[in-house]
A and B are shown apart, each in its own frame.
Chain A
Amino acid sequence: MGEVIRVEDISRTYLMGEVRVPALRGVSLTVNEGDFLIITGRNGSGKSTFLHQLGLLDRPDTGRIFLRGRDVTSMHERMRAEIRLRDLGYIFQEFALISELTALENVMLPAMMLDGTASCKKRALAILEMLEMASLRDHLPSQLSGGEQQKVAIARALMNDPSLILADEPTANLDSVSAAEVLEIFRMLNSRGNHTIVMVTHEQEETVYGNRVIKLSDGRIVSETAGSAFL
């Protein structure tokens, strides 16, 4: 199994007014190809901050992050944007869809920067079909339920066929049925699509979907266990 991402001793401190709040304190981790890594921890433990670092949405104060062996920590923002576009699929807790665009257009958005509209549309429709969302392709986000919106966000994350999918509490705003559907999609992507997945959650029962589970507390990894999927 090749290494997808390696994190070496990263720290991140936020300034809240005049108070310095350490969110990550010397975290190191390696994610291998095919992993379904689940990050848990209480609110404020640093889970989302850590995922933001992996998703290249923020930079650590100290330490380094390697993506397929390339140091992305101090890379120019233009290059980091290119990596976000081609190699990473990020799924936000609040879906983060563009409200004026339809489901199909939202899915097509990242690929339109790389390919022509026609091939994007074909691929986007295929992904929506796979997620059983093709019939809702012309709906605006406001016309979709939370679960449907999250499926659109997942489809968008898959559009450029990234090697790593990062999901920040993707079920937090969903009812239990929708949440189960979304998690099944992740399981399928990991097992059949061979996508490496890193998912943040604070729902203990969701850890069964991962093959590795790490727990963060006060910005540090306090435990790592094998998930049920591994067993």
Chain B
Amino acid sequence: MRHLKRTNKWTLAFIIFLMSVAFINLVFINSLFQGVIETDHRQLISTTTGNIMLSPREEGALFGGVEDAVAKISRVEGITGVSDQIVLPAVIEREESRKNIEVWAVNPSREKRVTVIHEKVISGYYFRRDNEPGILIGKRIAYDEKPGGRSLIVKESKSVALQIAGESIELPVLGVFETLSDYADSRAYLPRSVIEDMFPEYRDKATRIIIKAAKRGGEEELVKKLKNTGLPGKFVTWQEASERSESLTESFVTINALLTSVGFMIAAVTIFIIMYVDITHKRLEIGILRALGIKSHIIATTFVLQTIVYSLFGVMVGAGLFFGIIMPYFRWKPFIIPIGDVKLAVVPADFISRAVAVVLVAIASGLIPAIISLRKRILDEILGR
């Protein structure tokens, strides 16, 4: 420590800074991908599947007895919201424009307790009554962002024509929502009363029921409880409900692993070069210590301890910069990508493993040049040959 204290302060600061950059590089890549994965999951749960989804055993079938099912599910401990949905393909038209979309017919007040769509209205308003006739459309349907594209251009408070299963209906646009998830923003919501008026056979029926849990992480336990209600259909967690999300997560995990490996190599090479240069500059010192009769393993240990101190300071400074500047910056200005607004997410175990990796790499980077140096002739070290 005494030795380190008297090392040139700028050199010491530079070494620690480079160590911290190598550490930040490792943590940043991981946090970014964790952020993307977390955003995808958050968006999926809050806009599409809820924490748990009840769907019919057969694809495309409908449930009956929805009111009874909603009541039974709501009584299960740990459930904070239940929303029944009818999902139908439709064609939306206005003047010359038309587009194939999905309409989700919901009970608006129930839907509010499960998804965040009501919080994401960027113009107009969310349904004020459960049976208010009107349509709430996603931003990707509402505005044509590509010149010459075929997206439907709709201004809120205007009417659009909707064709569902050969039936047509004119509905006022109540509002436009934007969740930043392309998937969610490409759909439209209707009160289920509109669909029930058009198609009475849909009364008390649903394509699926989505369920909000009090907290994330305990879905599998809740599914077990829900199965005990005896309701027909398949209860699945949000992970099981979305194959798209699963494959996206797998892809990101793979890319993350690849980039992390590259990051590790870059960090290892950077730290090795730093320590190699530092120890090469101390050849005379190593030679003097050897000439005095100090044993090689003591000299090597001294340099390893030195690199451990460097790397620990590097990790501390890196962590300070990461949590003090980088994380708040991306919280303030997140990356906007088609699945949502991505903020950096830190997994504590990953963070610790990367800190440990930097220290281990530093130990090897201190030890290898020290051993190389210790294998040279003492006189070559002292005389700088």
Contact mask A88-107 → B, CB, 8 Å, 1/0?
10101000111111000100
Q: A98-B288, A105-B2 are in contact. Are A113 and B378 (CB under 8 A)?
A: no
Contact between A101 and B292 (Cβ–Cβ < 8 Å)?
Answer: no
Name the one of A52, A88, A156 contacting B379, with C-beta atoms under 8 angstroms. A52
Contacts of B41 in A (CB 8 A): none
Q: Tell me if A101 and B294 are in contact (CB < 8 A).
A: no
Known: A86-B293, A140-B6. A96 touches B379 (CB 8 A): no
- Interface: A188 (CB within 8 A): no
Chain B residues whose CB sits within 8 angstroms of the CB of A98 once the complex forms: 285, 288-289
Measured between beta carbons, the chain A residues less than 8 angstroms from B382 are: 57, 92, 96
Within the complex, which residue of A57, A82, A88 is in contact with B378, where a contact is CB–CB below 8 Å? A57
Find chain B residues with CB under 8 A from A99 CB.
Answer: 285
Is A219 an interface residue when CB atoms closer than 8 A count as contact? no
Query: Does B296 make an interface contact (CB < 8 A)?
Result: yes
A140 nearest CB across to chain B (Å): 7
For residue A68, CB closer than 8 A to chain B, the reply is no
Which chain A positions have C-beta within 8 A of B287? 96
| Chain B residues whose C-beta falls within 8 Å of the C-beta of A96 in the assembled complex | 284, 287-288, 291, 382
User: Which B residues lie within 8 Å of A90 (CB)?
Assistant: 291-292
* From B3, B291, B377, B379, residue with most partner A Cβ within 10 Å: B291
Interface residues of A in 116-140 (CB under 8 A from B): 140
Per the bound structure, the CA–CA distance linking A109 and B7 in Å amounts to 18
* A113 surroundings in chain B (CB, below 8 A): 293-295, 298
Which residues of chain B are near A110, meaning CB under 8 Å?
A: 292-294
Count class of interface residues, chain A: 20 to 34
Residue B343 CB within 8 A of the other chain: no
A58-B379, A92-B382 in contact; A100/B295 too (CB < 8 A)? no
Chain A positions within 8 Å of B285 at CB level: 98-99
Residues facing A in B296-340 (CB within 8 A) are 296, 298
Q: Using Cβ atoms and an 8 Å threshold, which residues of chain A touch B291?
A: 55, 57, 84, 90, 92, 96
Q: Which residue of B is nearest A88, CB measured? A: B293
Bound together, the chains give a CA A57 to CA B294 distance in angstroms of 13
A92: chain B residues within 8 A (beta carbon): 291, 382
- The A/B interface has a contact count, at CB < 8 Å, of 62
Cβ of B283 within 8 Å of any chain A Cβ, yes or no, is no
Interface assignment of A172: CB less than 8 Å from any CB of chain B: no
| B354 on interface, CB distance cutoff 8 Å | no
CA distance A103 to B296 in the complex (A): 23
Any chain B CB within 8 A of the CB of A78? yes
Shortest Cβ gap from A27 to chain B (Å): 18
Q: Which residues of A in the span 48-97 have a Cβ within 8 Å of any Cβ on B?
A: 52, 55, 57-58, 77-78, 81-86, 88, 90, 92, 96-97
State whether the Cβ of B290 lies closer than 8 Å to any Cβ in chain A: yes
B295: contacting residue among A55, A57, A81, A105, CB under 8 A: A81
**Nearest opposing residue in chain B for A80, CB measure:** B293
Shortest C-beta distance, B12 to chain A (Å), equals 11
Among B292, B295, B377, B379, contact of A109 (Cβ-Cβ < 8 Å): B292
Cα-based distance from A203 to B158 in the complex (angstroms): 107
Interface contact A78-B295, CB-CB below 8 Å: yes
A52 vs B290: C-alpha distance when bound (angstroms): 13
Which chain A residues border B284 with CB–CB below 8 Å? 96
Q: How far is the CB of A33 from chain B (nearest CB, A)?
A: 21
What are 30 A-to-B residue pairs whose CB atoms are below 8 Å?
A55-B291, A57-B382, A58-B379, A77-B296, A78-B295, A81-B290, A81-B295, A81-B296, A82-B295, A84-B293, A85-B292, A85-B294, A86-B293, A96-B288, A96-B382, A97-B288, A98-B288, A98-B289, A99-B285, A100-B2, A100-B7, A101-B2, A105-B2, A109-B289, A109-B292, A110-B292, A110-B294, A113-B293, A113-B294, A140-B6
Q: B residues within 8 Å of A by Cβ?
A: 2-3, 6-7, 284-285, 287-296, 298, 377-379, 382
Query: Besides the contacts A98-B289, A156-B292, what 12 more A-B pairs have beta carbons closer than 8 Å?
Result: A57-B378, A58-B379, A78-B296, A81-B293, A82-B293, A82-B295, A85-B292, A86-B293, A92-B291, A100-B7, A105-B2, A140-B6
